[in-house]
Structure 1
Amino acid sequence: MVRICFLLFIICCSFFSSQKRDSAELISEVKIDAYRKPTSYIHSTKSVSVVSQGLLNQNTPERMLESINQIAGARMEERSPGSYRISVRGSTLRSPFGVRNIKVYLDDFILSDASGNTYLNLISPELIDRMEIYKGPESGDYGAVTGGTLLLQTRSSENTSAHLSIGSYGTFNQSFDLSRNVGKHFFEVFQNYYRTDSYRKQSAVERKQIFLKDHFQYTHKASVNAMLLFSDLDYQTPGGLTLEQMQADRKQARPATSALPGAEEQNAGIRNKMILAGISHQISLSPKFSHFVMLQGSYVDFENPFITNYENRFERNFALRTHINYEDQWDRVTAEWRFGFEGGINSIVVKNYDNSKGAKGNPQNFDDLKNTSGFYFLSQKLNFNEKLFTDISISLNSNSYRWERLFPGNENEKVHFKNQWLPNVGLTYLFEKGFSIRAKIGKGNSAPTNEEIRSSNQEFNQNLVPEYGWNKEIGIRKEVGGILFLEGSYFDFRMKDAIVRRQNEKGQEYFVNQGSTVQKGVEVLLESRNFNLANTVFNNFKFRFSGSFYRFRFDNYTQGNNDFSGNNVTGVPSTTINSLFNFIVLKKLSIDYSHFYTSKIPLNDANSTWSESNIVGNIQFRFPLQFDKAQLNLYLQIQNLYNTDYILGFDINAFGNRFYNPAAKRNFVLGVKADF
């Protein structure tokens, strides 16, 4: 009843207000940063998507899922609240949770550690002002990944805002942001607190975060960026269910068996504290030469009470990125060169104990693991007469690790993977303003992360080697009449030594290299500019459609006596179609109406079990109230509008067919954001 009254209040108030015309750009008019290699979207050779404020506004306070899932080729999943993973073009295969095989940057700094693991769930989506998603290998600029790269950007303009929201299942969110120019400094202070009991049992979440940054332009030629991030995340993990268990009770946590206790009994969950600090410096040495350098360090305290053990991890990370840039221009040719290095060290002490109902019991294994990785890179951009744009790069990548068993006994070993030369070549030809065609070829390489080398079965897998492959693609970008933008791309990626997840009878995971994959796909985007309608009821309207159509197959893949060659790649839907409609009604009420269609998904390598296809709808109402020096933005989000029974993240290849992590039924978030 409260929700209905609130909605009626918003609609009634809208009759007495007015709304300015939205001046939102088409994507073709957007500039991409590409980690300090700016270019216009229509000229870019890269397979990149931009997540602007319009898409970020679709997110609920705890996650970036709604905005990322509007991007063709990108998919964010939620196994349980707080437990997220991102796949780009099917990289879910080796990510039971978290983010692997995808490099993530935050402004000038690196969120991914030296082994390739990223704690993206520590970041509040409200901190992010813009996002660029690069699909496929970008090894010349970002090193050894085959999935993709995410560039997250915080605010670059002045802002003072406070946000408060409540929602279903005891959800509460509060945040504050202050961004100001003070002399030669641009400061940002961001704070967030979020909690929820969530839909299922044993799935509560609590996150606290503080972010500080300072951009100091101490001369017109040089600047310093400094950043400090602290995040404290505590979330319970309900565990996967069998189909029969899910049908009996969608809200239950993983129950006990005759051999193992259940998730509630063991208080299964993850407690993760991270502090990340960094500083970068950019200077123009001359009209043609400039230099950039970045240093950062982080500390992670990670606890994971699980069904079979209690794990403690203490991680220390150090990273460096530096490059020198040269720019020149002749009659009709503009050139840029960049030569640099990026590297990192990741040191982990991991201790496993018996789990005595959520408390540490007897010790099982104590280990020390150190991963070192880095790459030298050289890139060249050439612009011929504002018609032909080239981006040619190559990197030399290295990765090694050493491990030592501290308890019980003592043993150690060191593994150095073969150094890899990874080239990347992209071409774009501009036929006319707003119409370009591009082609790209590149090689990617992705070493196993620490969590794959020493997975939850507590054994070191020294036989695991990096997966690698070549990606080829072509694409078209076309602006139509200044009101529509159309983009389409086709890619063909052949991966060798694919890293695949397995589970033993205790639910512990381990990883193996298993044959190769052939991944072919088409990705499309259709977006409109804002239509200003000459109508007293419907004032403005815009839309966006995106879709991914994949044919991903295992190739030369045998497991024991089983030959899975030709099977669909596990965990990847063949079709996803997404839509977003934005309306302004009665001159003030803004409505965002979105849909996400996902086709059936193979849940194991044998393709013997598949999920059901589903369509999920969301709707959001936003209503501004203007005061003397402040604007209140009221909103109501209704998630899963059609009350669909669906899964937002499966446990692929799960032992005992415990694939299912049911998502919440229809739920709401009611909030207000004050801008001063």
Structure 2
Amino acid sequence: MKTFLTGLFALIGVTSFAQAQQDSIRRLNQVTIRPYFSNQSLIRSTGTIGLIDSGTLNKQSGNSFVSAVNTVPGVRMEERSPGSYRLSIRGSLLRSPFGIRNIKIYMDDFPLTDAGGNSYLNALDVAGASQLQILKGPQSSIYGANSGGVILIQPQGTNVPTDSTSVVLKLEGGSFGAFHQNALLQHQSGKYKLSITQAYQRSDGYRDHSNMDRKYFQALQKWDYTKNANLKALLFYSDLHYNTPGGLTEAQYQQNPKLSRPAAGQIKSAIDQKAGIYSKTLYGGISNNWIINGNFKHVISVFSSYTDFKNPFITNYEKRKEFTLGLRSYLEYTRNTSHVEWKFNLGLESMKTGTDFDNYDNNYGQRGAVQASDKLNANSSFAFAHLSIDLLQKLFIELSASANLYGYNYKSIAPVAIPKKTNRFDIQFMPRVALSYKIDDQLSLRTSVSKGYSPPSLAEVRASNNVINVDLQPEYGWNYETGVRYEGVNKRLFVDVTGFYYNLKNAIVRRTVLVNEKEAEYFINAGGTKQWGLESSLAFWIIPLNNIHFVKGLQLKNSYTLSHFKFDQYLDKTNNFSGNDLTGVPKTTIVSSTDLQLPKSFSVFLQHNYTSSIPLNDANTVYARKYHLVQAKIGKKNLYIGNVPFEIYIGADNILNEKYSLGNDLNALGGRYFNVAATRNFYGGLLICL
């Protein structure tokens, strides 16, 4: 049956498209996005974009972004244990032993990615986001340094109904001690909007020593203080802790996948060392949007964040204190005639992140003697220009470019004091040329060429080997892509097919080494990669939403991703890995789902994810086997307690009880590649609207 399903979905060759699903009108209407300053219908967008809205998020368990994000073709999100995210867009996870690198993330008008290259996506609770736009491929032209892509997060409260107040409470519990609670208050009165999100999440995890908990608070305010201007403020605080069970060898994985990493020789176990992450993040930003007149608009945003990060690891105890301060501003000029619509944006973004790195001996979860202490400051600035031209509502052209300046300074305090030094990279010019042509109201073609650029993050410059690697250089490359979109059958059918080629140079890859019989990591520049890819998508309402038939609606979605990614001229000491498959990337991924609407507000959601085998080392001698994930969710809306409406739901993940690793440790020393995901598990929840 698995083989039949896989063959059928591959024959269809399509990917999931997360179109708006909050009510029957939005489901069948044209989807509008805003990836490059201009509001655009998705069918006319020049870029390849994955859209995940609240309807898509609500179909998954509320404990993680992973299942929803993985419905987008070309995107892979992993969770090695609860709370430990990894994310890649069309590329390698080699740079990310944990966390997110070479991808730029924005939350509303504010960069979530700091100047040091870190993006604490796991600090956010799922309840704090209402939509994610994923821009695939390099977007360095207007979003600064990135070689993978950009994620634009729309926080809760962006769209609040006029003159209204609402409170939503959601409770969800499940297997392995999972519990998630969140409350949402939204208020709009006259010229003022307020949205407050509070959330708490915990889990014992499937494996030993994999429990997590997170406390989260978020506030978004908007004040239209004049007819032509408004002020927006975003604030969130996250207190996250999760234990890290560590990777297992093949033998341990087969014998007892629930194990955490055991002791080996003089190396203590993950439990003994109380290995885990303790991260507290406070983020705030204020933006002002001023419509100067009918042609000009000015937007300015200032933002800051502070993170207190602690990581008792098996071989050391790391502490980081990170402070970021930044500004983003642009001026927009618009001019429309009967045949042409022009829009020109000119702006800049600049930020600075200071990081104190301190490493100690780890004495059973307590700090011991100092191993190393360093201070690094990253400075990231870029100026950008963007021109869009819409001719006769047919041909849409976008020309954009940025000049990127990046550098860092550092000084060592221990074990040997080193005076402050500076390392600056050359200014990089990053262009993007893109266009789409609407053949008719149902069919459009698009193509684009863009350059990607990503300097090493501070966590790569100063990795766990406690050496400041001033020789590590940025990675860069050119991306070429073309695609076609079709929207027909009264907007019930949407098809999207994209092909691309990305030639990445100077690729940054992770290496592990034994230092004084202790495991440590460092990063090098590999020769590069050649990445050919195909992404296709389809979403079809077989039975459109209605109030007449027994089946009130039936939608099918499918996703297909083909990643033919190879190393190019890659030498590692005496090993030549040129031509090998890119480590950590499955060649084929297929995601398919069914959304069934039934009488009396019952709904049934089914999803199947097929992921092919994954190379776990650069030599391609070890692979993680392919797997099939099946999940289901059944819900009932429009229930009442008195006059209070509520809904209930139950769901199941990994129904086939697959044994697989979600978040492999690539090129791991001692063959400890595997971080085992949960077996078959269940959850249920209650949502109350006040």
Structure 1 counterpart of 2:289, one-letter code: Q
| Conserved 8 A contact 2:127-2:197 | no
1:386 equivalent in structure 2: 393
* Distance of 2:393 and 2:667 partners within structure 1: 50
Matched, 1:203 2:206: no
Equivalent in the alignment of 1:656: 670
2:243 — aligned with what?
A: 236
SS at match of 1:117: coil
State the match for 2:48 in structure 1: 47
Residue identity matched to 1:467: E
Instruction: Please give the residue correspondences for 1:215-364 in structure 2 after superposition, counting only pairs within 5 Å.
Output: 215-364=222-371
Supply the distance in 1 between the matched residues of 2:512 and 2:644 (Cα, whole angstroms): 54
2:436 corresponding residue in structure 1: 428
**Structure 1: gaps (5+ residues):** 1-19
The aligned counterpart of 2:174 is 167
1:347-496 aligned within 5 A: 347-411=354-418, 412-482=420-490, 483-496=492-505
Residue in 2 aligned with 1:38? Answer: 39
**Residue by residue, what CA displacement relative to the aligned partner does 1:552-606 show, whole Å, maximum 9, x if unpaired?**
0001111122111100000001100001110123442111100111001110011
Match of 2:622 in 1: 609
Distance 2:600 2:221 in 1: 38
Q: Which residue does 1:635 correspond to in 2? A: 649
| Deviation readout 1:408-457 (Å, 9 max, x if unpaired) | 22114211011100000001000000210001000010001011001111
Contact 1:537 1:587 in 2 (8 A): no
For 1:248, the aligned partner's letter is: Q
What is the SS of the residue equivalent to 1:507? strand
In 1: Cα distance, 2:196 partner to 2:643 partner: 20
* CA contact 1:59–1:125 (8 Å) conserved in 2: no
> Contact between 2:92 and 2:582, CA under 8 Å: does it hold in 1?
no
Please name the residue that 1:527 is paired with. 539
Contact 1:543–1:582 (Cα < 8 Å) also in 2: yes
Amino acid at match of 1:528: F
More displaced 10-residue stretch of structure 1: 35-44 or 284-293:
35-44
Q: 1:22 maps to what in 2?
A: 24
Q: CA deviation at 1:186?
A: 0.4
Look up the equivalent residue of 2:151 and give its one-letter code. Answer: L
Q: Distance in 1 between matches of 2:651 and 2:382?
A: 44
1:502 aligned residue: 511
Provide the C-alpha distance between the structure 1 equivalents of 2:42 and 2:144, rounded to a whole number of angstroms. Answer: 22
User: What SS does structure 2 have at the residue aligned with 1:23?
Assistant: helix
User: Are residues 384 and 209 of structure 1, via their aligned partners in 2, closer, same or farther at CA, if it must alter by over 3 Å?
Assistant: same
Query: Does 1:186 find its partner at 2:193?
Result: yes
Alpha-carbon shift at residue 534 of structure 1 (Å):
8.8
Cα deviation per residue 1:306-347 (whole Å; 9 max; x = unaligned)? 001111101100111000000001231110000000111010
* Cα distance in structure 2, aligned partners of 1:430 and 1:181: 38
Structure 2: give runs of 5+ residues left out of the alignment. Answer: 1-21
Corresponding residue of 2:19: none
What SS does the corresponding residue of 1:662 show, helix, strand or coil?
coil
Structure 2 residue identity aligned to 1:618: Q
- Confirm or deny that 1:68 pairs with 2:82: no
Amino acid at match of 1:616: L
Distance 1:508 1:61 in 2: 35
Residue 585 of structure 2 aligns to a residue whose secondary structure is coil
Cα pair 1:115 1:447 within 8 Å, conserved: no
What SS is found at the alignment partner of 2:127? helix
> Which deviates more from structure 2 when the two are superposed, residues 524-533 or residues 320-329?
524-533
2:576 maps to which residue? 563
The answer (yes or no) to whether the contact 1:35–1:108 under 8 Å persists in 2 is no
Q: Map Cα deviations across residues 450-491 of structure 1 (whole Å, 9 max, x no partner).
A: 110011111111110000000000000001322211000000
- CA shift, 1:59, in A, is 3.2
Moved more, 266-275 or 32-41: 32-41
CA contact (8 A) 1:536 1:587 kept: no
Distance between the aligned counterparts of 2:60 and 2:357, measured in 1?
Answer: 34
Partner of residue 554, structure 2: 541
**In the alignment, which of 588, 593, 596 is matched to residue 575 of structure 1?**
588
Question: Is 2:534 the partner of 1:515?
Answer: no
1:218 CA displacement = 1.0
Contact 1:21 1:532 in 2 (8 A): no
Q: Do the aligned partners of 1:424 and 1:443 also contact (CA within 8 Å) in 2?
A: yes
TM-fit CA distance, 1:652: 0.6
Which deviates the most, 50-59 or 112-121?
50-59
Determine the structure 2 residue equivalent to 1:3: none
Contact map agreement 2:171 2:182 (CA 8 A) in 1: yes
DSSP-derived class of the 1:94 partner: coil
Structure 1 residue 668 and structure 2 residue 668: aligned?
no
Deviation string 1:615-672 (CA, Å, 9 cap, x unpaired) is 1011011111433543211011211111111111101111111100000001111110
SS of aligned partner of 1:265: coil
Deviation at 1:537, TM superposition (A): 4.9
Name whichever of 96-105 and 617-626 sits farther off: 617-626
Within a 5 Å distance, the mapping from 1:139-150 to structure 2 comes to 139-150=140-151
Name the aligned partner's letter for residue 215 of structure 2: K
Identity between Structure 1 and Structure 2 (%):
38
How far did 1:40 drift? 1.3
Q: CA deviation at 1:394?
A: 0.5
Residue 112 of structure 2 is matched in structure 1 by 111
- Pick which of 424-433 and 170-179 moved more: 170-179
Q: Given that residues 200 and 251 in structure 1 are in contact (C-alpha distance below 8 angstroms), is that contact kept between their aligned partners in structure 2? A: yes
The two structures have a TM-score, normalised by structure 1, of 0.95
Deviations 1:487-541 (A, max 9, x none): 0000000000000111123332211101010001000110013524798653321
Q: Secondary structure at the match of 1:80?
A: coil
Q: Is the 2:206–2:258 Cα contact (8 Å) retained in structure 1?
A: yes
Q: CA deviation at 1:275?
A: 0.3
1:618 aligns with 2:631: yes
The CA distance in 2 between the partners of 1:596 and 1:230, in whole Å, is 33
1:95 paired residue number: 96
C-alpha distance in 2 between matches for 1:252 and 1:43: 50
The count of aligned residue pairs is 656
Specify the code of the residue in structure 2 equivalent to 1:470. W
Instruction: Name the CA distance, whole Å, in 1 between partners of 2:346 and 2:658.
Output: 51
Amino acid at match of 1:134: L
Aligned partners of 1:100 and 1:37: how far apart in 2?
27
TM-score by length of 2: 0.93
SS in 2 for 1:432: coil
Partner of 2:565: 552
Instruction: Indicate whether 1:135 and 2:144 are aligned.
Output: no
For 1:165 and 1:188, the matched residues in 2 are separated by 21
Distance 1:186 1:94 in 2: 40
Aligned partners of 2:43 and 2:487 also within 8 Å = no
